[in-house]
Structure 1
């Protein structure tokens, strides 16, 4: 390695940086300089670190101004650079005649005549600078003096090594902390992307965000505000606030100076690290911050396709300064929240449309006197809250009553649309043709085949007709669960007889079945969502249904249907359920 390259060696320069020392006094190294000055009886002593273009003095004693204040000189004034270049002590009796340093500006500007400098090294042996004794007169250095200076230099080097090691350890710990924090932030965003994808309402979104940031950002309050159709700010997280505070900010002008309104209006993050910042930027929120004991806040806009759709807000009960990484996390989290909110609003609008569609397709029940008549519909918990199950009742001439329960495969908007088509066609057949149930189901099946509709569909069509013994039930079953006959004494029996479902094959043969209805008997028509689950054996569910109906044999029909739904459709039922029940008069 050349002499010049020694000054610029990367490992040496990194070690100097690693000391954390610069052109400023350090108490420990000033003490080393004082010791050298006293024990060697010299006017000036220095702890010098030689950088690429200057030398700095973290330790100095007896240095004249302006150098004492500056704590540095350019290398044109440096004897210590020779210690670095040679990795050996530099001993000078009279600098004015020593060819190694003659002409160095330190001789005239700093009065350096006698000089003794010992190398200061790091743990790898890099020479960082020197511990030097300086006299303004020629000086013959004795062996004992040089040995003492070398011992002090070794001790001083130990101090530098310890300082480098400590700072490296702290830097490693800091990197570990930063890496850990970055990993935590990454995990937070990963959890957010998964958790928020599973939300279906704005309330779900607010609760999920609050759970996600607990233990990391740890805010006292998480707020979500959205712009309503009129452009005002609507608070969606008021349930976690005291009622009086929630009412105050339930709906307000976006021109207000609150963190949320500012984020929405400016489209930029609003960072309020302390109460002074709140007072300066969000004066409308000052009273609420004081009332709630909040000290800091941050609000970021929720991005939408045409500008912010709202804001995500955090507040803390202590001053809180968000670093750049945390600000980036909030921005990313706001993106996830925005998508979740927009999806929730879309699902809500679809549910509203679906509910309206389903209600329009499930006609009101006609006057069935002298019979009791009741119906219930329950959409699947999952999906679009609409489906292909339906019930219908039509009053026909001759004091006849037609009853229908059917099930188009699926529980979504498409299934509901097809169900509506089939229901309308069957209603038209009922009104136009006085034909047995089997004939009308065959007509419906043929129409589906002709129109290219191969959707699998099950249905039961039944007539209740006056009979010499009272009333008679006539029915045809296209692949549907058998209706149940519940007599007044609690006897429950299935009304057997079932043909192939609709939409499977053209011109299928279909059969009519009849049964005289005893006085006070109930006939329950239902779809398979009532008895089919992923986990239960269907025969066991059928048995349980029969037992439940036996206990409810004389209950009013609305009560009977409600209790059956509560028992068999509670919680997470996976399919639509339609039920239609009719009860014959007791006399």
Structure 2
């Protein structure tokens, strides 16, 4: 048959008409396109239907105008027609050099360079169109990406078949019966992947991923066990032992990837392992037979979790009765395994990033010195939407028996870059404090000049204070570069803001800076803090300052660690927008 014969086939065109779709957005198919773009990481994804003169896009994501508005093109712009006429996937690395498509106007008009399209079929196997991923640059498609795209295409075909059957049933007046019985499973499979795209996209930890997968399949495929094992240095490491009896979990906590078990075989070969009954278990995975008998399982399927360099593990489902997956279920589970693998890798990356950020912050925030008889305490709380590391810092240097230098600063930003700037400034200021016996204002001028010379002109606030012996008690001498005023809490509950500040650091040359001093009565507390404690996007700053003052009135005699914890709880809470650093000192009473 010629291309025109296939495209104009009456049965195929009738099936297209019965989908009820046209050159307009369909929300469900738009979600399929969105899933493809996210899963395969491409700029454009389409659900196309092809007739004898045009292709339409009822599902589209990322398509440029005017095509996104028009939702159709002539066949001169169609790669998908090749999928229809061959009834096979079309995979193109570079359309500009591929003889199958070099003449297509889609290359210049739609920017199609890399292309991967999978057939969309009706219940009779007629190809109606394509689910396709499109890149605007040459693309080497991996086997894992193509498997994931094929699984999504199978689920999308289910949805099209459901539409066709629904229209036929409507004509016969038994729509409900068809939907409930003949096509209920197909509808459930389609919805499973739609739910998966949302549920797994929001996961950030391995526990989140495992719980999401269990929740997704429990309502549809109803397995009795959902398990994940990940590859780790040639070993399989079980991640779901809490859902197994302790003896079974201990037995499979870690085992060789060469073991004859469903998970190991899937991860080792990269091929799904389908075990519809105990006979298949015994024949293909003899090392797992005893566990199957102990758990009462009679069937299972294990799917490789695809990674950039091969499988990273396996996703396993087990049932307590024989279960044979049909081709559509296999495709959907393969797509689900692809989603889960991406989510697991993202969770592992986030965990590693958080660990690095935490270690970096710990290394930059030095331990407080033993300052007895002066008491010291400090806390750091990163912004909840940052990298768990930021530009706020505190520091204390003991210069004599009752002579301390205290620093609190804030570099703009709350990410690793801000932390890097903070580390440089903190180190320079520490060196000045140790080497230069000069007033606080002089040292801040030196730091500001160094920032200008080195080109490190990141807006920064800081306060440098000296606690000196006085008569009676102590004296606090400080210079303030645009930083919130420290708070003095006297033993009777009197709270005073220690005002007086100059321009922040990093914004001008030869800025004049001044020193300030205030007596610190015996038994008093001084609190230094960064602006993340009192500044929010919605509250009036004066109201927040008053809230801090009222909180401090009742904490005059509280131990310093308790004082800092209460301040963080009441002022910052669990959802503060900026980093917070706190440093408190208390003089002997």
TM-score, normalized by length of structure 2? 0.67
| Alignment counterpart, residue 395 of structure 1, candidates 395, 398, 416 | 398
Q: Indicate conservation of the 8 Å contact 2:306/2:338, yes or no.
A: yes
Q: Which residue of 2 aligns with 1:329?
A: 332
Corresponding residue number in structure 1 for 2:476: 473
Partner residue, 1:561? 564
RMSD between aligned alpha carbons? 2.8
1:541 aligns with 2:544: yes
Pairing 1:358–2:361 present: yes
Matched with 1:211 is 215
**C-alpha displacement at 1:165, in angstroms?**
10
Structure 1 residue 186, shift from structure 2 partner? 4.0
Whether the 8 Å CA contact 2:461–2:504 is kept in 1: the answer is yes
Query: Is the partner of 1:233 in helix, strand or coil?
Result: strand
Residues of 1 paired with 2:462 and 2:568: CA distance?
A: 20
Residue of structure 1 in register with 2:192 after alignment: 188
CA 1:395 to 1:274, structure 2 compared with 1: closer, same or farther past 3 Å?
same
Segments of structure 1 that go 5 or more residues without pairing to the other structure are 1-9, 15-163
Report what 1:233 is aligned to.
236
Taking the aligned partners of 1:334 and 1:296, their CA distance within structure 2 comes to 18
2:209 is the alignment partner of 1:202:
no
State which of 373, 382, 388 in structure 2 corresponds to 1:379.
382
Distance 1:398 1:245, change over 3 A: closer
Aligned to 1:220: 224
Out of 379-388 and 264-273, give the one that drifted further: 379-388
* 1:398 shift after superposition: 7.6
SS of 2:437's partner is coil
Secondary structure of 1:333's counterpart equals helix
Paired position in structure 2 for 1:300 = 303
Q: CA deviation at 1:487?
A: 1.0
Q: Contact (CA 8 Å) 1:294, 1:315: kept in 2 or not?
A: yes
Superposition deviation, residue 442 in structure 1: 2.0
Per-residue CA shift, 1:213-263, capped at 9, x if unaligned?
A: 2322232222221111x2111111223333333222221222222221111
Q: What is the total number of aligned residue pairs between the two structures? A: 425
Distance across 2 between alignment mates of 1:577 and 1:279? 59
Calculate the TM-score normalised by the size of structure 1. 0.67
In structure 1, the residue matched to 2:93 is none
Residue equivalent to 1:426: 429
How far apart are residue 492 of structure 1 and its match? 1.6
Q: Given that residues 259 and 313 in structure 1 are in contact (C-alpha distance below 8 angstroms), is that contact kept between their aligned partners in structure 2?
A: yes
CA displacement, residues 84-135 of structure 1 (integer Å, 9 cap, x when unaligned):
xxxxxxxxxxxxxxxxxxxxxxxxxxxxxxxxxxxxxxxxxxxxxxxxxxxx
| 1:436 equivalent in structure 2 | 439
How big is the shift at 1:169? 8.2
In structure 2, the CA distance between the partners of 1:166 and 1:539, relative to structure 1 (3 Å rule), is: closer
Shift of 1:196: 2.1
Displacement of 1:280 in angstroms is 2.5
CA distance change for structure 1 residues 551 and 165 in 2, over 3 Å: closer, same or farther? closer
The correspondence for 1:285, drawn from 271, 283, 288, is: 288
Tell which deviates more after alignment, 238-247 or 204-213: 238-247
Q: Give the aligned partner of residue 80 of structure 1.
A: none
Structure-2 separation of matches of 1:181 and 1:436: 78
Q: Structure 2: give runs of 5+ residues left out of the alignment.
A: 1-9, 15-167
- Corresponding residue of 1:417: 420
Find the counterpart in structure 1 of residue 525 from structure 2.
522
In the TM superposition, residue 182 of structure 1 has moved relative to its aligned partner by 4.8
1:451 correspondence with 2:493: no
Asked whether the 8 Å contact 1:391–1:406 carries over to 2, the reply is: yes
Report the counterpart of residue 341 of structure 2 in structure 1. Answer: 338
| Alpha-carbon contact 2:394-2:582 (below 8 Å) kept | yes
